[in-house]
Chain A
Amino acid sequence: MSNQFANLLINRVIVHQVFERTETREIQTPRYNNSLANLDTNALTILQNRIIDVLGHNSHSVEMEIVNSQDGDTFGVASKMLDTDDEEFIVKSQNIAYKLAEAQTARNIPGGVVVVFDGTVGSNSDRYIGFIKAEIHEGFSLRQNSEQLLLELLSDLCLTPQQKLYKIGMFIEKEGASEPNTPRTAEQFKAYIYDQNMNVTTTAGAAIYFYESFLGCKFSPSDKRWTMDFHTHTKDYIDNLNVQDEKKVELQSALHSYLKVSQSNVVDVSAFGDEYLTPEQKDDYCSYMEANEFPSHAVAKDISLIQNKLKKRQITFSSNVSLSAPSDNFDELVEIIGHEGSKTTLRIEGFIKGQ
C-alpha cells in the first residue's frame, strides 16, 4: 500500500482571516497577513496532528476530482504556488483567502481563519498545497493564582481537536509531475478533502461552498463503483470471518443498514470497523480491504449500482436450501433460533403463499 500521508512535512504557513457576509450579503474584505507564520516545533506538530487526523489513512476524508482548474480558479492559483518564492506565495495566498470569502455566499456561513500551507508528504516526498478553514470558537483556559484554579474564557480559539470546526483541502502532486515551468493541470494532482458536513446526508448541502465553490472539486464518478466494491468485499470478509453464524447474520444486517439506512453520506472502512467490529477484526478488515485495493479514506456513498442487491438478502444452508427475504426488515421477518446437530431452527413471519 502506498503511504500517501506518511512523513508530512510543513514548509511555509500563512494565516489570514475571513468574515461572514454583511447584512446586504456583500463580501467583507478579509484581514490579510503580509508575512509567513513562524511556528515552533510544538506548534507544527499539533498542526500536523490536526491535518493527518482528518485527512490521513483511516480518516473520513474523501478523494475528489478537481473540476475547476482554470487560471482564475483556486486550483489554478494554488498549483502555481509550489514554485514561487515567499513574496509571491504571500500574495497568492491572499488571493486564495479572497476566493474563500467569495465562495461563502450564505450569511449563515461563519467567518474564520484561513491557513494556507505547503510542504511535502508521502514516502516519495510529493509536494502539496493545503488549505484549512477553521472556525473561531469559545473555550476555557485553566489559570492558577496563589489561592485557586481559575477558568478563563477564551473567545478566539481555533484548530482545537474539535473536528467539526475545521475543514481541510489538499492538492497533492502526483509522482513525477513536478516539472517546473509547465502549465499545471488537474490530472497532475490528487485532491483530498475533509469536511464533516460533507459526510452526513443532512448537512451535505452546507459543505458545497468549501469543496465545490472554493476548491472547485466534485465527487468522483467512480464512487458508484467504489460503493459496490465496498459492499462486495465487506460481504466476503464477513462470510469468511471466524465467528458464529448468528453473528455473521447480524454483521450482514449491519452492512445493509450502513449502506441503505445510515445518514452517512460516505462509506469508509474505518468507520464501519469502529462501529461494528472488535479491534482485532478491524485490523484484519482494514488489511483485507487494503489488499483488495479499496481506498483507506472515505468514498462518497452511491448505491445506484447495488440497489437490487440491497433489496433482497439471501441465506444459503449447507444442505443447499436457500432462503431470500426483503433486506429492509430482514430481522423482523426471519429469526434464527439456533442449531441442533445439523439442523437449524428459523422462525419466519407469514404463511406459505406459493411453491
Chain B
Amino acid sequence: MITEQEFTEKFNSKKHIYTAWGEYIKETIISELTKDVEDVATFLRITPTSRVKELNSLIQKAFYRGKEYSNPFDDITDKVGIRFVVLLVDDIKTLSCIVERQEWESSKDRDFEKERLDNPNIFTYQSVHYIVRNRKVIEFEDIEIPIGTPCEVQIRTLLQHAYSELTHDTVYKPKTRTVPEMHRLIAQSMALIETTDKIFEEVNDMLKANSNEHLLLPELTTIYSSFKEPEFEKGLNIFILDAYKELMVSVQMHEISTYFREHPYIFDLIKKNYDRNLLYRQPIVLVLYYLIAKKRSQVKQHWPLTPALLHPLFVDLGYSF
C-alpha cells in the first residue's frame, strides 16, 4: 500500500502531465463543438477550464474518506477534470456524442438518466461523468502524455450545476453532520430541477417548431453579402419575421431570390440608405422590400414598429404609403 509520502512525490512528478492532458481534451472538445453548434460561447454557459486537483484534497480522498482503495493513485481517476455546463438536457447529448466519437477511450462513469432508472425513488446529484484515457502516447505542448492517463469530463445543465454548487462542498464531501430535514429539502430541490429541465426542453422544442421561417435568415444574409456586408442584429430580424409569420407561409426563398435578380436596382437603394438607419443594414430589409412589392397592405397592417420606419421603404419602391 502506497504511503502518503510516496503518493505526494508521485503526484508532484506527474502534475504537469495532468495539466497538459486536461488542456488537450478541453481544446479538442471545443474545436469539435464548433462543427456542431452555431455559437460555442453561448452554448457553453460557463467557460470551461481544466483543473488539476489540489494535493490535499487528493490525499483526503485517498486516505481519509473511509474508501478502501487497493491502489489509490491509479484508482483516483479525477486527478484532472473538466466541466462543461450547458442550458438543456439535449445539449448534454450533443457534448456526449463529441466525447464518445473521439479516438480516445471514454467510459461513462456516471449517467444520471441511468441512475434515475436504477433508483427511481431518489432525487440526488445529477451529471454525466466520463473518464477519458488516451489509447496512444500524445505529445501536447512538449509534454508526453503516457497511454491510459485518466481525466474526468463532467457535463451538466445549469440547474444541475446550481444544485451541485450548493451541495458538493457542504453535504457530501467531508462527512459534515447534516440533519435529515436538510437532506429532504435538497432532495426536493433536485426533484424540482429535474422537472424544470424537462419543461425547458419542452419550451425549446416549441421554439424550434416555430422557427422554420428563421431558416431564411442565412440565405438572406448571403444575398445581402453579394453587394454589401450586412449587420446582423438577430433579435430585430426575428422580431420582424415573427410579425409576418402568416404572410411568409406561402413565400418560398427562390421567389425572393428571383425577385431581386429581376430588380437589381434595389441593391443600389440599400447601399444608398445603408447609413440612414439600422433597418437598411439588416438582411431582413430584403424580405420587407419583397413583401411591399407583393403584399403591401398586409405589410402595413402587421408592421410591428413605428410607421415612420416603414414609410421610406414604400417610397423607395415608388408605392404610396
Which residues of A line the B interface, CB within 8 A? 3-8, 41, 45, 48-49, 52-59, 121-123, 125, 270, 273, 279-280, 282-283, 286-287
Contact = CB atoms under 8 A, between A and B. Distances in A.
Contacts of B318: 3-8, 52, 56-57, 121-122
Interface residues of B, number: 23
Contacts, number: 73
Contacts of A125: 265
B263 interface: yes
Contacts of B295: 283
B298 A57 contact: no
B311 interface: yes
Interface of B: 263, 265-266, 268-269, 276, 294-298, 300-301, 311-312, 314-321
A58 B319 contact: yes
A53 B296 CA distance: 14
A59 B43 CA distance: 50
B312 A53 contact: no
B148 to A, nearest CB: 68
Contacts of A282: 297
A42 to B, nearest CB: 10
B265 A287 contact: no
Contact of B320 (A4, A57, A279, A283): A57
Contact of B265 (A49, A55, A123): A123
Give the 10 A-B residue pairs with the shortest CB-CB distance, closest first: A5-B318, A59-B320, A279-B297, A6-B318, A283-B295, A52-B315, A282-B297, A56-B318, A56-B320, A279-B301
Contact of A123 (B263, B294, B298, B300): B263
Given A58-B296, A282-B297, A49 B319 contact: no
A52 B296 CA distance: 15
A76 B33 CA distance: 71
Nearest to A285: B297
B297 A283 contact: yes
A83 to B, nearest CB: 24
Nearest to A48: B315
B307 to A, nearest CB: 11
A6 B320 contact: no
29 contacts: A3-B263, A3-B265, A3-B318, A6-B266, A6-B316, A6-B318, A7-B269, A7-B316, A41-B276, A49-B312, A52-B320, A52-B321, A53-B321, A55-B320, A56-B314, A56-B318, A56-B319, A57-B317, A58-B319, A58-B320, A122-B318, A123-B265, A125-B265, A279-B298, A280-B297, A282-B297, A283-B294, A283-B295, A286-B296
A8 B315 contact: yes
Contacts of A283: 294-298
A270 B321 CA distance: 11
Task: Identify which of B268, B276, B314, B315 gathers the most chain A CB atoms within 10 Å of its CB.
Answer: B315
Contacts of A56: 314-315, 318-320
Given A45-B312, A49-B311, A123-B265, A6 B298 contact: no
A49 B318 CA distance: 9
Nearest to A3: B318
A58 B295 CA distance: 12
B317 A280 contact: no
Contact of B319 (A57, A123, A273): A57
A287 B301 CA distance: 17
Given A279-B301, A283-B294, A7 B314 contact: no
Given A52-B321, A121-B318, A279-B298, 12 more contacts: A3-B265, A6-B318, A7-B268, A52-B315, A53-B320, A279-B300, A279-B301, A280-B297, A283-B297, A286-B296, A286-B297, A287-B294
Contacts of B294: 283, 287
A45 B266 CA distance: 17
